[in-house]
Structure 1
Amino acid sequence: MAQYWKLRTIENKKHRIHVSERLRALRNQLNRDVTERTNEHDLRLATWNLMHFGNNGGYWRNTEALLYIAEIIDHFDLVALQEVNTNLSQLKDLMKNYLGVEWDYIVTDTTGGRLGNKERMAFLYRKGKVRFSRLAGEVVLPDGQTIVGSSGLENQTLFNRHHQFARSPFVVGFSCGWLDFKLCTVHIYFGSNPKKPLLMTDAEYSTYKGQFMEIRKSEIRELANFFAERQKKERRTELKRLKKLGWDTAQSEANYILLGDFNIVSPQHETMDALKQAGFKIPDGMENLPTTLGKKVGFYDQIAHRLADKRVQHRVSGAVDFRESVFRTEDADHYIDVVKDEFVIGKTGASRSRDKMRQYFNRYRFKHQMSDHQLLWSAFDVDFAEDYLERIAKEAAT
């Protein structure tokens, strides 16, 4: 259960009242859209790109934002986070003081290289519902497979240094209910970005910026193919083992779920095809869900699966538009009048007009304190007790 004691540390009483009211609205929204559409036996799985989470400066989350973030996460069982910063102090604060002892986490090391932007990825999971199976590792492509090899760019100097993923995908084994599965979180390289990567020189950016989309498509394609082939091998091995034991009707455990920020352009784009062609399925109702906030509509975040266990049933999917309840457009005047210190001065040091302060709130403030992405989620029925008991009864009757 999310912790609320930090509310008392908000010194401005008017703002403390506002945050309390917005938290109640957010809880009601999440109960309506998530809790009431699922049940306690479902695995409620989510992915969220938390924009520059843990960065200093304008991206450092205050108490209010951490309360909202924790409330959203606490309505799920297993959440993959992208864009976690090198500095883990904010993540540790979130876990200890806002989510509490019911939750635990696994976090990756930062990815080196010019395209990785020193980001981490993390898995947050509810310990009473989800179990970590002690399997974890980065995805490294086998010899002979490269990110850009099939794109005709392998002879370019820059890309010779980036034959692996710009940000290493991270795979972890979990179990929930009757299901054992491997979960891989990704943050696929964006490409076609007007801003150059953090560690890239101006000269390199000028030379290669027109080829970045090829990296994006290639990363998605190679990742999906990697896990499709891995699943086939694991399934063959597992079925041989089960056959020796005489368990002809047993289910294989080669269940893979990919989730995260794939930077999918649209459901009809080649970036989505690169994922589907390897046999990964997008849950019903999810493919056409936009997941970005702001002027530009994006379908970047996805949850895709290849499940060997046919008993798994997808229930429902959705995206959490937190601006329905918090950091709403109509809240701008409250922040300008009550939390004014953070709004009055612009980047140049000059005072902002009231209209400029409203623009700042609605264009940037909610992104920097929450995210420019919605949380994307899917619920799966992982209670196979009825199937198991029926099978036992049939075996006894023969």
Structure 2
Amino acid sequence: MPTPLDVLFADPDNLPDDGPLPQAVIDEMAAYADYLDATVPPKRVVDRNLLIATWNACHFNSLTKKWSLPKKTRVSPKRDYRCLWAMTEVISRFDVVALQEVGGDLRALRYAMKVLGPNWSFLMTDVAAGAGGNHERIAFIFDTSRVSLSGLACELVIPDEAEEFGFTEGAFKKQFARNLYAVSFATPDTTFILVTTHIDFGNEDTERLPELRGIAKWMQDWAADANRWHHNFLVLGDFNLDRVGNKLYDAFVETGLEVPFVLQAHPRTIYGRNDNPTGSSYHDQIAWFSKGKSKLMDLELAGGGICEIWGRLLTDVGLTKGSFAARISDHNPLWVEFRLPA
């Protein structure tokens, strides 16, 4: 049967090494597409809504040119064509996706862009060097039929006067482990700046807490400035927070950043529990300022949530959650929908 991945197979070198498409993959992807149809709002005509997501894609590097790898295999990488199909099915539902943990090997990203089609584009950082950088890139993937670039693309670099942003002397190395990446986008009716990052998962007091405090202060100042130019300003990504009420979460929101209520009851990772979603692994957030001179200008929140992946994908393979993470991710895609101005 035809699949979105057929565009890859025009090159004989990309043909699956394990033969025809298994029926289990066909059935699972049909069911997953139905689930996404019922979960994520459609892209409405005449640009009446905006769908934004963030996803830590868990070492999104290369992939193996097979349809489906068994539970026990020595083949590496474990991400295969089946996984790529599922991941692009998720990404295709949104206008812009902030993607963390894109690796140095770009095969999975290059193939994903081919599957998404000619109306899709991306921007990304270079590989972050050093132990804290973990050889990662940060990327924005976006649907050019819905949004366009409006000019800004930059990494945030700490000035020498770091104390101005709450970095006490000796408590911070004066650069983020993985620099925040900011890109501005436009629709026919509004403009918005998205700032994404993947906070260093280091010592809480000496590494994570200073980064989070610095980000919160920096975002407050930048959002107020962006507001003067009629830009909406949002922060999203993997902030390696633990839970509401934890000092890391408090540092993240202390300058007025707010995580919308509609996102607070959703587990951020496949290890989170639906009955206690903020209890642990509350890493991923989408936030903005809703008060004062830094608040959103003309975007009205319409909804939000997660796309479940564990329990819906690769169910017939019998994987542990750790093994599943290496093939899809250990993070749930987190998303919001905005109504655009009339």
Cα distance change of structure 1 residues 16 and 7 upon mapping to structure 2, 3 Å threshold: farther
Q: Is the 8 A contact 2:195 2:234 kept in 1?
A: yes
Separation in 2 of the partners of 1:44 and 1:172? 16
Q: CA deviation at 1:91?
A: 0.8
Aligned mate of 1:163, from 164, 169, 174: 174
**Structure 2 match to 1:25:** 31
The superposition leaves residues 253-274 of structure 1 with CA deviations (integer Å, 9 ceiling, x where unpaired) of 1321110000110122122211
1:152-211 CA-partner distances (Å, limit 9, x unpaired):
744xxxx5xx221011110001112422111111001112xxxxxxxxxxxxxxxxxxx4
C-alpha separation between the residues in 1 aligned to 2:165 and 2:208?
Answer: 9
SS in 2 for 1:265: coil
TM-score (norm 2): 0.83
Native 8 Å contact 2:270 2:321 kept in 1? no
**2: CA distance between counterparts of 1:295 and 1:30?**
20
Shift of 1:143: 2.4
1:124 to 141, 145, 148: 141
Q: Deviations over 1:256-314 (max 9, x none)?
A: 11100001101221222112112212122212321111378411000011364443110
Q: In structure 2, what is the equivalent of residue 315 of structure 1?
A: 302
SS at 1:222's partner residue?
helix
Q: Is 1:174–1:180's contact at 8 Å kept on the other side of the alignment?
A: yes
Number of equivalent positions: 312
Which position in structure 1 is the counterpart of 2:22?
16
**Aligned partner of 2:334: which letter?**
L
Read off the aligned partner of 2:101 and give its amino acid letter: E
Counterpart mapping for 1:375-386 below 5 A:
375-382=333-340, 384-385=341-342
| Corresponding residue number in structure 2 for 1:42 | 49
Query: What are the ranges of 5 or more consecutive residues in structure 2 without an aligned counterpart?
Result: 10-14, 64-74, 274-279
For 2:72, the equivalent position in structure 1 comes to none
Contact 2:51 2:336 in 1 (8 A): yes
For residue 277 of structure 2, what is the aligned residue in structure 1?
none
Q: Provide Cα deviations, 1:304-332, integer angstroms capped at 9, x if missing partner.
A: 1136444311011111112242122xx13
Aligned to 1:232: 224
SS in structure 1 of the partner of residue 262 of structure 2: coil
**CA deviation vs aligned residue, 1:339-389 (integer Å, no higher than 9, x gap):** xxxxxxxxxxxxxxxxxxx4xx2233321110011100011111x22xxxx
Q: Secondary structure at the match of 1:20?
A: helix
Choose 1 or 2 for highest CA Rg: 1
* Paired AA for residue 299 in structure 1: Y
Instruction: Please tell me whether the aligned partners of residues 146 and 163 of structure 1 are also in contact (alpha carbons under 8 angstroms).
Output: no
The answer to whether the 8 A contact 2:104-2:135 is kept is yes
**Percentage of pairs with the same residue:** 30
Residues 52 and 83, structure 1, Cα contact 8 Å, conserved in 2: yes
Q: What is the CA deviation profile of residues 14-71 of structure 1, one whole-angstrom value per residue up to 9, with x for unaligned ones?
A: 85211111111110010001136x7442111000001111057744521111111000
> Which of the numbers 254, 257, 261 marks the counterpart of 1:277?
254
Q: CA RMSD in A?
A: 2.6
Does residue 1:223 correspond to 2:230, yes or no? no
Report the 3-state secondary structure (helix = DSSP H, G, I; strand = E; otherwise coil) of the residue aligned with 1:23.
helix
Give me the whole-angstrom Cα distance separating, in 2, the residues matched to 1:112 and 1:14.
Answer: 40
Cα pair 1:115 1:166 within 8 Å, conserved: yes
Distance 1:189 1:73, change over 3 A: same
Aligned residue for 1:322, secondary structure, equals: coil
Q: TM-score, normalised by structure 1?
A: 0.72
Residue 314 (structure 2) pairs with residue 327 (structure 1)? yes
2:100 and 2:163 map into 1 onto residues whose CA distance is 23
Matches within 5 A, 1:274-313: 274-294=251-271, 297-306=280-289, 308-313=295-300
Contact in 1 for aligned 2:213/2:252 (Cα 8 Å) = yes
CA distance in 2, matches of 1:45, 1:215: 28
* Structure 1 unaligned regions, length at least 5: 192-210, 239-251, 333-357, 386-398
Tell me the residue number matched to 2:81: 63
Contact 1:52 1:85 in 2 (8 A): yes
The aligned residue for residue 95 of structure 1 is 113
Contact 1:147 1:218 in 2 (8 A): no
Q: 1:282 to 1:254 in 2, by over 3 A?
A: same
